[in-house]
Chains A and B, each alone.
Chain A
Amino acid sequence: MPVKDRNTQHARVAVIVLQLLVAAVFIILFGRVIYLQVFQYDVYSPISERNSIRQQIVNPARGLIFDRHGDLIVGNEPSFTITITPLSFDMSSIPLLAELTQQEEEEIEALVQEARTYSLHRESRLLRDVDFQVFSNIQENLWRLPGINHQVEGKRSYPSEARLSHALGYLAEVTRDEMNRSPHYRLGDLIGRSGLERIYEDDLRGSKGTQFVTVNAFGRSLGPFSGGALDVDPGKGVDIHTTLDIGLQQIAEELLEGKVGGVVALNPKTGGILAIASSPDYDNSRLAGQLDRDYWRAVNSDSLTPLFNRAVATAQPPGSTTKPMMGLIGMQLGLITEHTTVHCAGGYQRGRFYRCLRSHGDINIKEAIETSCNTFFYWMMDQIVNRFGLNTWTSMMNDFGMGIRNDIDLSGEIRGLIPDSTYFNRAFGVRQWGLGDMINLGIGQGAMGASPLQMATATAVIANNGYRVQPSVVERVAYDDGTVEIVRPDPERVEWMRPDHLRAVQEGMRKAVTEGSGRFYANIRDVAVAGKTGTAQNPHGQNHGWFISYAPYDDPEIVIAVLLQNAGFGSTTAAPIAGMMYEYYFHGEILRPHVYQMMLDFEPAPFNPNRN
């Protein structure tokens, strides 16, 4: 049967062809597998590792801040954060995410875009400090949201009664520039923007930890990789112990409320700040978590500039509070002794007439400070500039910490203004200024500016018998391994100040409180206060009230400088605040509640931000 033979032969060939086909298919497949597993191994093996092992950043707890009694001022509380890994995120789940987080879709989209721009692979914060409801919504729906994760972080909490807005400072998200400059920061990290948070940022922030976790295809974490052997624990931020006294601070803040000004209380022996307040202030806790945009805008646009720390950053003419310093300079330069008298007939005639408050008659330096005689110091300033030159005075004023930075560990400190000839040449032009511009300086008026901090530092020099201290808020920094760093330098002796001269000025200041302008409010029970009021003339409005003081007179423990802008006389506006603070500091309570109430009710003239 030839036909059948042909068919049989065809079938046989067909089987051979099929066999060859099978062989070819298997050779191709096996070749492909060899290619992948042998030659592509190096390419894909890392991918498979990266797939399943994720490096997560563990954020450290920020360091705590304590007051001098060990009470917590700034702590941390849990805050819920939603994070995103843009690479694994599916853009089509934006509506779902927006719904779960109760945000606008556009808002979420913008945030996702921002995270994408930062890094595709890294996990960034999408929403910080969401409320617990949103957090649990996300948690339940995590499986529908690849690339989305959640974590519990710390946010700043302020358990203390005092606000301490400016001293503590606020945190804000790092800028792109800061991220570029330092490897410590990643998108969404917070950084101290002002106050202690800014100055001690490096200590407070701690060090980031790393955690290697195994994740599944949905980005869900399944637990530590290789038992956490590769993990690096985060280093907790260093705790900071300050010299602040919360009780004292609270009184200063309460009494400043509704007014514009600043208060600084410090320990003259160490320079440790006991209280530092500036008004108006703001609420740090409202800037701590998810940024309260409305509040932030309000704080920033307020014409009274609540973010501005008047305790260290304003420069106002110190007025009569300059007089104790003038006395020391005059005695040192040999213009007067403590017994030298000057005749005050109600003013000083030199080119023009410089008025005094009244006719004091023949008075010495102690009486001049006690009664705040202007004539005495006009005459002295005239003598100084004629016989020694303005710059001698300038450099001696600098020794009080006036017109220079005192390097307090807070942000925004200014130099203030103690003019020298260079300044006048620049400000008024060479030969365009003269005696008239300088004699005023003798009573702290004219081209002169000081902050409450500077006045407190200068008062501390007098109270401290010529030792200048560096003011500081932080007493020690407690590292984890137990080392405690004392951050304060030793007091520095101002060489030219002599004990007998200091005593004369101190007696004058004591008398100013017992007999002079401070007697109504600053002279408190059982404790001897020495001080000097000041009423700086303000050509734009009400005068600024000043009061500088220290106590106890014999062995000073505390110096207080108060500035109330547009408040009028220092003796009736600034001095009562110091008086109340002394009562609290020494007696633990307010002895004269009526004075306290008077200061709470006191309303200074409206502050004109354009002219002050």
Chain B
Amino acid sequence: MKWYTRFDWTLFLTWLLLSVIGLVAIYSATQGPLHQGTHIAGNFFRQIIHLGIGLVIIVVMQFISPRTYVGLTWPLYILCLFIALLTVFFGIEVGGERNWLNIFGFRLQISEFMKIATIMALASFLSNQRNLSAQDFKTIFVIGLLIALPVGFITLHGDTGTSLVYIALIPFILFWAGLPYGLSLIMVAPALFAYLTVVNIYAAAVSVVVVTIAVFIIEKRPGITIAGFVLGVLVVIGVNVALTDVLQPHQRARVEAFVNPQVDPQGAGWNVIQAKTAISSGGLYGKGFMQGTQTQLRFLPEQQTDFIYCVISEEFGLVGAGITLLLFLIMLSRLLFMSATHKHPYARIVMVGVASVFLIHVMVNLGMATALLPVIGIPLPLISYGGSSFLSFSIMIGLCLNFYFYERDFSIYA
């Protein structure tokens, strides 16, 4: 078989296309007349370099045997933890977050690269289990520990948004590793309950009932069902008490800003209102490249990073926004498909992990941009400006490409 028939072009091309869409959006967000001569204007050129480096890395990665990566798993994981520890003490503080480490002039955000190391560590641990199962307590504990370590450091960095990504990764991995469906549901459900409580407490109450019934139908174990129900009720009541009694009104406004941005249009609601305005005013075909008033006049906050999707939506309309979504959908589906068909468990877990991280990022970032979720500052993969995050996501893709490319050789070492 020729090499190019074994290479997964779908994944590579979606990577490339999304990166280029990101470049276009960053260009629009940083090259307008308002940014001329500012530091932000340089972001576009830096991102071109990031893309170039990313491309080189992906290509070079394809010449290395997957066994090397497997072998590097633990050293990499420990190295990342060490750098994370260094960052806690020597990191550069920007806006209350200390998550950059200055290494030879490069600003390294270890929390991004740590995602790869964590996924690989999880894959290594799970694939070395005799029975690949999350049924027993020890497995669950180790998985939790492998994720808790980076979460601890990143929380010390002050970057709660990224910590959430790691925590959200736990149910995905456990679920894939064999945690019973009902328990998986109970693990995910509190997030749903809490979210619905903020939006509408009645919807939350209904969801608790529905989830309890679903758990019972799947598991048919009254103990777990009742535990799940009690947990759900506690979450709903807890969140509600926190909202009404514990939080100050302005804090509550901040939490609820995505539902009621009008409460504080100049403060917490500002981002939400401006983001919604940018997306909605784009209409079907958008205002045109560099023509988005919300973008060009800087009404959008963080427009080249967290709110980049608003730039695409405003200037390229539903068409642009839809194509971006479609590319992500293709990429994730491809990753999941590759994972389902791959013969080696290590690769399968890495692919599922990568798909999960992408999914979490896309879901949270786009949910925030479209005012479905509270504002949580995490980047949109491959599109948002940022060297560490772009390279980290690129390496993840490169890794998956490599595992797919060498699937046959891979199984020999299994």
Contacts and interface: CB of A to CB of B under 8 A. Distances in A.
Given A22-B336, A47-B277, A36 B329 contact: no
A15 interface: yes
A179 interface: no
A25 interface: yes
A438 B156 CA distance: 104
B372 interface: yes
B294 A33 contact: no
Contact of B366 (A4, A29, A51, A88): A29
A7 B325 contact: no
A29 B367 contact: yes
B375 interface: no
B283 A45 contact: yes
A40 interface: yes
Contacts of A44: 276-277, 279-281
A30 B131 contact: no
A484 interface: no
A569 B332 CA distance: 109
A407 interface: no
Interface string A416-437: 0000000000000000000000
B318 A33 contact: yes
Contacts of B176: 11, 14-15, 18
Interface string A36-60: 1110110111011101100000000
B294 A37 contact: no
Contact of A37 (B131, B317, B366, B372): B317
A37 B359 contact: no
B278 interface: yes
Interface in B259-294: 266, 274, 276-284, 293-294
Contacts of B152: none
A389 B370 CA distance: 93
B348 A37 contact: no
A11 B293 contact: no
Contacts of B317: 37
B278 A37 contact: no
B172 A3 contact: no
Contacts, number: 141
Interface stretch (A213-221, A369-377, A556-564, A592-600): A213-221
Contacts of B370: 29, 32-33, 36
Interface in B231-278: 266, 274, 276-278
Contact of A3 (B131, B284, B299, B352): B131
**Number of contact residues on B: which range applies?**
35 or more
A345 interface: no
A32 B372 contact: yes
Interface in B21-45: 33-34
Contacts of B282: 37
A41 B283 contact: yes
Given A7-B132, A37-B317, A29 B279 contact: no
Contacts of A214: 293, 297
B404 to A, nearest CB: 15
B347 interface: no
Given A7-B131, A217-B298, A217-B299, A17 B279 contact: no
Contacts of B355: 18, 22
Contact of B294 (A21, A22, A40, A51): A51
Contact of A15 (B33, B328, B352): B352
A48 B278 contact: yes
Contacts of A47: 277, 281
B175 A216 contact: no
| Interface-centre pick from B274, B277, B281, B372 (highest chain A CB count, 10 A) | B281
Given A11-B348, A29-B325, A52 B34 contact: no
Contact of B362 (A19, A25, A217): A25
A524 to B, nearest CB: 73
| Interface-centre pick from A13, A37, A217 (highest chain B CB count, 10 A) | A37
Nearest to B328: A26
Contacts of A15: 176, 336, 339-340, 352
Contacts of B283: 37-38, 41, 45
Contact of B313 (A12, A14, A33): A33
Contact of B266 (A11, A25, A90, A216): A90
Interface in B168-203: 172, 175-176, 178, 181
B321 interface: yes
A579 to B, nearest CB: 71
B171 to A, nearest CB: 11
Given A36-B280, A37-B317, A52 B294 contact: yes
Give the top 8 A-B pairs by smallest Cβ distance, nearest first. Answer: A44-B280, A48-B281, A52-B293, A15-B340, A216-B297, A217-B299, A40-B280, A36-B280
18 contacts: A12-B340, A13-B181, A15-B336, A17-B175, A18-B336, A18-B355, A19-B333, A23-B329, A28-B372, A29-B362, A33-B318, A37-B282, A38-B283, A38-B318, A40-B280, A45-B280, A48-B280, A217-B274
Interface of A: 3-4, 7, 10-15, 17-19, 21-23, 25-26, 28-30, 32-34, 36-38, 40-41, 43-45, 47-49, 51-52, 88, 90, 214-218, 222
Given A29-B370, A44-B279, A48-B293, 8 more contacts: A13-B181, A17-B181, A18-B175, A25-B362, A37-B282, A37-B313, A41-B281, A41-B284
